[in-house]
A and B are shown apart, each in its own frame.
Chain A
Amino acid sequence: MSARTSHRGEDGFTLIEVVMAASLAIITVLAIGGTLSKSVFNSIGHQRQAATLSIAQREVEQMRQTVATYGFDALAMSGQPGAPTAGALASNPSNPDDFVTGHGTPSVAYKIMENFHSTGGGVATGTPASGEPLIVGGTVTYPTTGRVTPVTTNVTSGRVAATVYRYVTRRTEACATAGGCDGDSRRVVIAVVPTDSSADSELQTKKPFYFTAVINNPVPQDAQAQSGAGLRIGVNIG
């Protein structure tokens, strides 16, 4: 019996030991909980990034398809984008329309930033400080109906919902004749902004995600408009 008593002894359960163990457990659990919480947010951010990238890529491919289906001139906005937020341009705007200038006028433009998330770097080298002219279809300059909708809400990829902003600008391209190539080179800027309520602002997951591409007219207008310049096709020899 003395042996059994010895095996069931509770000599080690001192109050100090229990308090220390409990404290250590609480501290560690809190730490793990915090980091796991961070991990969950990271995971959400990762999913959201992947989804926004997927949406942006899909948008660019749709624009290329628009050119293939409706012709190059259809690569134009169907209307003007939204108005920018009043006031000075923030260093990291949350509204993609904040880069719009000349809103509501025929000279509406979009600033092509060196870094859209750090506007201190200014506009990209070679682009106008006031922005590249936006190509809006159905106007005197671009009479063909534009097939690029400026903004679409509730675009989904997986479980992520987003608002997609689209901009088509006139990129400056060298040309044999001054002005002869206007509009032949178009820059596409896609901004994807996640909209679901679970977004974690700390991780900037609700900040716009920008994606850019360049789509050119397969046949330079300059060559179309002139008989002297431009290329001739080696039609045949006989």
Chain B
Amino acid sequence: MTPVRTKAAGEDGFVMVVTMMVLMVALIVAGVAISDTLNARRHTETDRRVQAAQQAADAGLQVALYRANQMNVASTDFNSGLSGLSGSLSCLVAVNVSGTVTGLVPVTLGANSACPTTTVGPSPGTPSWVYERLGNRTTYAYQFIPGGTGGASGHVSLNPVIVAIGREDGGTPADTSDDVVRRVKAVVNPVDPFSMIESTGDLTLTALSTTLNGDIRTNGDVEIDGSLLGTSVLPASGGLLRLANVQYGGTYTGALGLLTRTKVTTPFERDPVSISPLKPDCGATGSAGPCPSATYYNSSTHKLTVNSGTLTLGAGDYVFCGVSVGTGGNLRTSVTAGSPTRIFIDSPSSARCTGVGSSGNLSWLGGLNTVSLTPSQLQIYIAGNGTPGATTATVDAGLLGLPAFFLYAPDTDVTVRSTAFQGNVIGHDVTLTSPATCVVVCAYVAQVLTQDLNLSNLPLSSSIGLFTREQYIQCKGDEPAAATPTANC
């Protein structure tokens, strides 16, 4: 045996060597395990900070949107007829506006001179990130970026964008190098213009013949029992007249008529009415109209009931838990008032109406405004209770009644019986038909529907909200230069 082999075969120092090797392996395994655990924990902590920064960015978005919806445009000339209207419409409504022809001259859209300037943001008109503390180690900043051609002059136009940054500073506000930053971009849009008749559910027209002087649309089915004539619609461009358009999401049944039909796959949305519990029924300071006499108005139940006589509501806002006008009663608005009469019917589940039986509905079977008035002179808003069709609105003008009003009730089933109607109806399931009481046979009564001419453009309530978020985008990277807030979005 060679000396080398002899030495290798020996076991001198064997215990120590093996022990150290085993311990070394154990140490490595333990180190890897600990490192892995610490990494996981660090990732969790980072995730927590990321979520906090994300919440801060979303908070910035919410704040910006809120402030945008609060813009005071009262100083903008909305009431000088079509000339003032044409300048401001391009700020606030989508391009595919349509209107009626009767009595109207073409309106040219596109001017931005009357658009409200951007008054929102910590530093309006100047791109900058101005941070506001949110607490819990977070801050946010945002920019409201006017869209469209009006943006260059600081005017709000279509598709404005909000970019918001959220930061989690890890408890060291002065040191931004270790901040976790998240940035989001939202495209917001003003509410799109109303068609003459809108139904978030199904739409039914049952008169012997129906004339559409305006567009209609529904998310559900359209059923037209009589003949149909669609005419006299003014295109957005102010160009030649075109036929009325019927937009529907379900099935189309009945007369085809002289109109265009569009099957859509994306339903439109109408936000529910929001009525502050602090808003007085009537008679208070501010915009509230004077309270009707106790003959008609019950301050305990917050209901308005007109079964006989004539009640004329002056300009102002009225909030009721229900409105009922019997066949022997007349409810009218003041013809001479320069401001609209706005009737709000609160939700049955609201603090105002909880415990009031059969609340949240409209039943108008007596006399009401006629087409001689501007429809937006009388505006009715019905909150509903969040369940489509849970509340009802019934208007029956009789054979001679020619109602004119603006009705916004996207969660309410609406029935309008008349021979003619002018204005807008926004409801859930909407039925337009002949009056219940007719001279001969109701089925042989024609119905003419005409879009709100809106010549005076009395202001609608902002309880619907102007801007809504349409698109939400997560941006990449850290805080960009203030002049390029949408970089990497």
> A residues within 8 Å of B by Cβ?
3, 6-7, 9-13, 17-18, 20-21, 24-25, 28-29, 32, 35-36, 38-39, 42-43, 45-46, 49-50, 53, 57, 60, 69-73, 112-118, 121, 123-127, 142-145, 173-176, 181, 184-185, 187, 189, 209-238
Contact = CB atoms under 8 A, between A and B. Distances in A.
Interface of B: 1, 6, 9-16, 19-20, 23, 26-27, 30, 33-34, 37-38, 40-41, 44-45, 47-48, 51-52, 55, 58-59, 62-63, 65-67, 69-74, 78, 82, 85-86, 88-89, 91-93, 97-101, 104, 107, 109, 132-138, 171, 173, 190-191, 193-194, 214, 234, 271, 274-279, 286-287, 316-317, 339-340, 342, 347, 349-351, 376, 386, 406, 424, 451-454, 457, 459-466, 468
The 4 closest A-B pairs by CB, nearest first: A238-B99, A234-B93, A124-B135, A234-B92
A233 B191 contact: yes
Contacts of B406: 235
Contacts of A113: 135-136
A42 B62 contact: no
A7 B27 CA distance: 32
A18 B276 contact: no
A34 to B, nearest CB: 10
B287 A217 contact: no
B465 A219 contact: yes
A11 B463 contact: no
Contact of A6 (B6, B98, B132, B347): B6
A24 B23 CA distance: 9
Contact of B275 (A10, A211, A224): A224
A88 B93 CA distance: 56
A220 B361 CA distance: 25
Nearest to A41: B37
A71 B193 contact: no
B26 A28 contact: yes
A188 B223 CA distance: 47
B44 A222 contact: no
Given A176-B70, A220-B69, A224-B279, A235 B452 contact: yes
B62 A11 contact: no
A176 B462 CA distance: 14
A231 B461 CA distance: 8
B459 A229 contact: no
Contacts of B452: 235-236, 238
24 contacts: A21-B16, A42-B41, A124-B133, A143-B277, A181-B70, A185-B62, A213-B58, A218-B66, A218-B274, A218-B468, A219-B69, A219-B274, A219-B463, A220-B462, A223-B69, A223-B70, A223-B462, A224-B274, A225-B286, A227-B316, A227-B339, A233-B190, A234-B93, A238-B214
Contacts of B47: 50, 53
B1 A237 contact: no
Contacts of B451: 236, 238
A50 B275 CA distance: 40
B235 to A, nearest CB: 10
A211 B489 CA distance: 26
A191 to B, nearest CB: 10
B240 to A, nearest CB: 14
Given A213-B59, A218-B69, A233-B92, A32 B135 contact: no
